[in-house]
Structure 1
Amino acid sequence: MIVTMMTVLLVLHAAVGASPAVCPIPLIEAVEGDNVTLPCHLYPEVNAEGHTFDWKRDGLEKWVYVYRDKKPVEDDQRDECKNRTRVDPVGLKRGNMSLLIFPVKLSDSGSYKCFNAKMKSFCYANLSVVPKDQTKSRDSTTNVPPTSDDLGAEKKTEVWIVGSVLGVLGVLGVLVVLVMKYKVVDIWRNFRGRRPNNDEPVTAVTGPRELGQDALAAEEASIELMVVNNNNNNNNHQSRKSSEVY
Structure 2
Amino acid sequence: MRICVTFLSNLLFIKLITGQHRLVCPTQPIEATEGDDVTLQCDLDPPVSAVDYTLDWKRIDRNEMVHSYRHKQDHYNPQMGQYRGRTTLSHEDLSSGILRLQLSSVQPSDSGPYRCFVPKLWIRCNITLSIVRRDQNKTKRDTSSTARPPLVEVTGTNNPRSDSESRKPVHAGTISSVVVFVVFVVGLLITGIKQICMKRLKGREDQEPETAENGLDMQQLNTQAAEEDEDLERPAENGLRSIVCFK
TM-score bracket, shorter-length normalisation: 0.5 to 0.7
Distance 1:161 1:17, change over 3 A: closer
Deviations 1:2-48, CA, capped at 9 Å, x for gaps: xxxxxxxxxx9977564222213441111111011112111110100
How far apart, CA to CA, are the structure 2 residues paired with 1:157 and 1:13?
70
Q: What's 1:45 paired with?
A: 47
Letter in 2 for 1:140: D
Q: Which 4+ residue blocks in structure 1 deviate beyond 6 angstroms?
A: 12-15
Q: Scaled by the length of structure 2, what TM-score is found?
A: 0.53
User: CA shift at 1:159, angstroms?
Assistant: 3.4
Per the alignment, residue 107 of structure 1 pairs with: 109
Output the CA distance in 2 between the equivalents of 1:110 and 1:23. 15
Select the structure that is richer in strand. 2
Change (3 A) 1:121 1:77: same
Is the 2:18–2:121 Cα contact (8 Å) retained in structure 1?
Answer: no
1:157 paired residue number: 162
Distance, in Å, in 2 between the alignment partners of 1:136 and 1:17 is 47
Other-structure match for 1:24: 26
Partner of 2:80: 78
Relative to its length, the structure with more helix (as a share) is: 2
Separation (CA, whole Å) in 2 of partners of 1:53 and 1:119: 10
- Equivalent position of 1:125 in the other structure: 127
For 1:26 and 1:117, locate their aligned partners in 2 and report how far apart those are by CA, in whole Å. 24
CA–CA distance in structure 1, aligned partners of residues 124 and 18 of structure 2: 15
Equivalent residue in structure 1 for 2:91, among 71, 89, 92: 89
CA contact (8 A) 1:53 1:114 kept: yes
* Structure 1: runs of 5+ lacking an equivalent: 1-11, 163-246
Closer, same or farther: CA 75–17 of 1 in aligned 2, 3 Å: same
For the residue of structure 1 that corresponds to 2:65, the secondary structure is: coil
Cα distance between partner residues in 2 of 1:15 and 1:128 = 33
**Is the CA contact (8 Å cut-off) linking 1:58 and 1:111 kept in structure 2?**
yes
**Does the 8 Å contact 1:13/1:19 carry over to 2?**
no
Distance in structure 2 (CA, Å) of the matches to 1:137 and 1:155: 34
Q: Name the SS of the counterpart of 2:82 in structure 1.
A: helix
Partners of 1:115 and 1:72 in 2: CA distance? 15
CA RMSD of aligned residues (A): 3.0
Question: Normalization by structure 1: what TM-score?
Answer: 0.54
Q: Distance in 2 between matches of 1:117 and 1:55?
A: 11
**Percent identity at matched positions?**
34
Give 1:1-246 correspondences, 5 Å limit.
Answer: 16=18, 18-144=20-146, 156-159=161-164
Give distance in 1, aligned partners of 2:53 and 2:67.
14
